[in-house]
Amino acid sequence: MASLLSFMLWGLTGVLAIHSFSVDIMVSSENEKDEETSFIMGEVNLCSNVANNVFLPYVGNCSKYYLCMYGQATEHPCGAIDSTHLLRFDARTQSCTDDEDIKCLPECKSSVLSSFCYDRTCSKYVLCYNNQAVLRQCQDGLQYNAETDRCDFPQFVDCVDNLCSPVNNPNDITYIPSKAQCDKYYVCVNAIPHSQLCAGGLQFNPKCNCCDFPSNAECTITALQRNIKPYSRAPPRRADITCPEKGVHFFAHQTRKDAYYYCLDGQGLTLDCTPGLLYDSNVHECREPKNIKF
Ligand SMILES: *[C@@H]1O[C@H](CO)[C@@H](O)[C@H](O)[C@H]1NC(C)=O
Reported as a single tens digit per residue, the pLDDT across 23-43 is: 333 333 344 444 444 577 777
- As a whole number, the mean pLDDT across the chain is 82
**Which of 88-92, 156-160, 189-193 has the largest mean confidence?**
156-160
Torsion of CA 165, 33, 283, 130, to 10 degrees: -100
What's the rounded mean pLDDT across residues 247-260?
A: 95
Share of the chain above pLDDT 70, in %: 84
Task: Tell which one of 35, 85, 86 to mutate to probe ligand 1, the residue whose CB is within 8 A of the most ligand atoms.
Answer: 86
Task: Tell which one of 35, 62, 64 to mutate to probe ligand 1, the residue whose CB is within 8 A of the most ligand atoms.
Answer: 64
* Residue 64 Cβ contacting ligand 1 at under 6 Å: yes
Q: How many CB atoms lie within 10 A of CB 96?
A: 22
pLDDT surpasses 90 at 271: yes
- Inter-residue contact 153 to 79 (CB < 8 Å): no
| Cα 273 from Cα 269, distance rounded (Å) | 13
What's the rounded mean pLDDT across residues 15-22?
A: 33
* Residue 31 Cβ contacting ligand 1 at under 6 Å: no
pLDDT surpasses 50 at 58: yes
Which pTM does this prediction carry? 0.79
For domain 161-217, the question of CATH label 3.30.450.40 is answered with no
Minimal-distance CA residue to ligand 1 atom 4: 77
Band (190; pLDDT cuts 50, 70, 90): confident
Minimal-distance CA residue to ligand 1 atom 11: 61
Band (8; pLDDT cuts 50, 70, 90): very low
The number of angstroms, rounded, from the C-alpha of 74 to the middle of its chain's C-alpha atoms is 19
| DSSP letter (8 states) at residue 216 | H
Q: Where are the domains of the chain?
A: 161-217
Task: Tell which one of 34, 36, 37, 61 to mutate to probe ligand 1, the residue whose CB is within 8 A of the most ligand atoms.
Answer: 61
